[in-house]
């Protein structure tokens, strides 16, 4: 098993986060004035509501993740999404966006093993998004197992999270809007679990497709890809939540300024992992 601690030291991580925030303030000086068309629902995680929609990202938690660590995971995901979008605006470069997200996660102290990352763009003509999602999750789990055998559970968490959201009409409607509001379908699925040693393992699966949205009323799960090229990526990530304290104040200050753009909707991941 590989060493699952981050490659970036605590001191370097703090300096990188400070640099990122200084850059953000230069690029977006009135960052606190950002607004969203969809009003956010600011809630804290609970053991019952153990899955959450964060914009076009779907996060599901395993049974062992503490409430405190759920909050930490959500904060580092939201901050990394914001940074990746700042670096790679628009929707034309999904591979670059995925890598920018991972780069920020590493700056925060996460560990992303090379053996745990898969990227490919390949034909997916007439496949439904449900088929494509299942394919990349399986590929991500297979890659993650190369780093740590216990990562297999992430596949079950991802599957149950996806099945559960389909049973929540109001929430799936919001998620459907978020993943299809630009051209095609763009989403990320992040199942998480906490190991016995306290480390958090996360699998990021992201998809970028120009799935046909002409079929009115269809949810994105049922949309068919019309492209010869669909970008899919899966990355295995671990994080020691004890490191979060070193960057907590800086990250949460930025997130608080951006509350109006941080859509979140919680729901229950019904099929519990035994």
The predicted pLDDT at position 5 comes to: 66
Mean pLDDT in residue range 137-150: 79
- 129 within 8 A of 221, measured Cβ to Cβ: yes
- Reported as a single tens digit per residue, the pLDDT across 214-267 is 555 567 777 776 665 678 888 889 999 999 999 999 999 898 887 655 668 898
Mean pLDDT in residue range 146-154: 81
- Reported as a single tens digit per residue, the pLDDT across 165-210 is 888 888 888 888 888 876 666 888 999 999 999 999 999 888 887 7
Full set of structural domains in the chain with CATH: 10-28+48-267 (3.40.198)
Mean pLDDT in residue range 129-137: 82
> What angle, 0 to 180 degrees and rounded to 10, lies between the N-to-C axes of helices 153-165 and 129-147?
160
The predicted pLDDT at position 130 comes to: 80
């Amino acid at each position: 098993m590989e060493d699952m601690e981050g490659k970036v030291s605590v001191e370097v991580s703090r300096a990188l986060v400070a640099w990122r925030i200084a850059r953000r303030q230069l690029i977006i000086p009135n960052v606190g004035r950002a607004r969203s068309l969809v009003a956010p629902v600011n809630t804290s995680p609970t053991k019952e509501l153990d899955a959450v929609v964060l914009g076009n990202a779907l996060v599901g938690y395993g049974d062992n993740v503490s409430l405190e660590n759920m909050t930490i995971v959500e904060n580092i995901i939201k901050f990394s999404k914001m940074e990746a979008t700042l670096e790679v605006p628009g929707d034309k470069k999904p591979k670059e966006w995925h890598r920018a997200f991972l780069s920020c996660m590493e700056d925060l102290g996460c560990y992303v093993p090379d053996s745990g990352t898969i990227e490919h763009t390949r034909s997916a003509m007439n496949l439904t998004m449900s088929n494509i999602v299942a394919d990349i999750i399986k590929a991500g789990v297979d890659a993650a197992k190369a780093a740590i055998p216990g990562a297999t559970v992430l596949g079950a968490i991802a599957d149950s999270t996806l099945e559960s959201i389909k049973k929540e009409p109001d929430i799936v409607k919001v998620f459907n809007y978020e993943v299809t509001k630009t051209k095609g379908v763009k989403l990320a699925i992040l199942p998480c679990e906490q190991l016995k040693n306290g480390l958090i393992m996360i699998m990021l699966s992201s998809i970028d497709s120009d799935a046909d949205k002409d079929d009115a009323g269809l949810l994105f799960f049922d949309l068919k890809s019309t492209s010869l090229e669909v970008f899919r990526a899966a990355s295995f990530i671990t994080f020691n939540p004890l490191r979060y304290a070193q960057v907590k104040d800086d990250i949460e200050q930025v997130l608080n300024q951006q509350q109006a753009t941080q859509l979140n909707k919680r729901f229950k991941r019904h099929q519990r992992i035994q």
